[in-house]
Structure 1
């Protein structure tokens, strides 16, 4: 799931992605399409800055159009229930922009439930149609 807020000059994203290798997931904060190159990109956990030794990335990279991008990521456990916020400060923004990824990123747990409901409904519809066909075929 991605939450996206777009600004005229700077695109900012916060993303939560499952990591099948570790059973956990990764929270990523990406700012792209900004110029000039100086930007302050901070990832917060429950309102507190995440320490640099926990974060991967953070390198300033050029885009093909002459703008820049920066991504910071954090590996989290499957049981993690914290609220994550990406804070961006840049000259092209009127003020600091925050994007929050809260408990809504645990929506993945509802997907199997919804799939089961869909399968049950499909079987019920199929059985009902089979019953109608048998009724029509009887003398």
Structure 2
């Protein structure tokens, strides 16, 4: 009989800004990865106000090969918006807040 032990794990959170195809715009990409269990939420905030999901691009929560999960969200921004944005989230009762200066990936 094979047993798999899965432990609750906090996400690693990364954010980066990439060039966009649109003139003068960039894409803010936020990734939370390595969390378990699956239930997690992520918000991108402008001046502490959550942006509606309709303004964000996401493919939802996806599995990783190690049975943990990841969630990626992105947003087209102007370079001047960067200092007003932050990333916040929650997973299984653990909050992770203000990752605007997270590890660059």
Do these two structures clear the TM 0.5 threshold for a shared fold by scoring above it? yes
Higher helix proportion:
1
Distance 1:35 1:85, change over 3 A: same
With structure 2 as the length reference, what TM-score do the two structures score? 0.75
- Hey, what does 1:77 align to over in structure 2? 78
Q: Is the 8 A contact 2:25 2:77 kept in 1?
A: yes
Measured after TM superposition, the shift of residue 20 of structure 1 is 4.8
Which structure 2 residue ranges, 5 or more long, are not aligned? Answer: 1-8
Note the alpha carbon deviations across 1:45-66, whole angstroms, 9 max, x for none: 1110111111001511110000
Note the alpha carbon deviations across 1:65-123, whole angstroms, 9 max, x for none: 00000011100124435511111211273xx1113437xxxxxxxxxxxxxxxxxxxxx
Q: Secondary structure at the match of 1:99?
A: coil
- Hey, what does 2:50 align to over in structure 1? 49
Larger relative contact order (Cα-Cα within 8 Å, sequence gap ≥ 6): 2
Aligned alpha-carbon RMSD (Å): 2.1
The structure having more radius of gyration, on CA atoms, is 1
In 2, the alpha carbon distance for the partners of 1:73 and 1:57 equals 7
Q: How does 1:36-115 map to 2 (within 5 A)?
A: 36-80=37-81, 82-91=83-92, 93=94, 96-101=95-100
Measured after TM superposition, the shift of residue 14 of structure 1 is 1.7
Distance 1:73 1:66, change over 3 A: same
With structure 1 as the length reference, what TM-score do the two structures score? 0.58
Q: Is the 8 A contact 1:32 1:70 kept in 2?
A: yes
Higher strand proportion:
2
Q: How does 1:14-25 map to 2 (within 5 A)?
A: 14-25=15-26
In 2, the alpha carbon distance for the partners of 1:19 and 1:101 equals 19
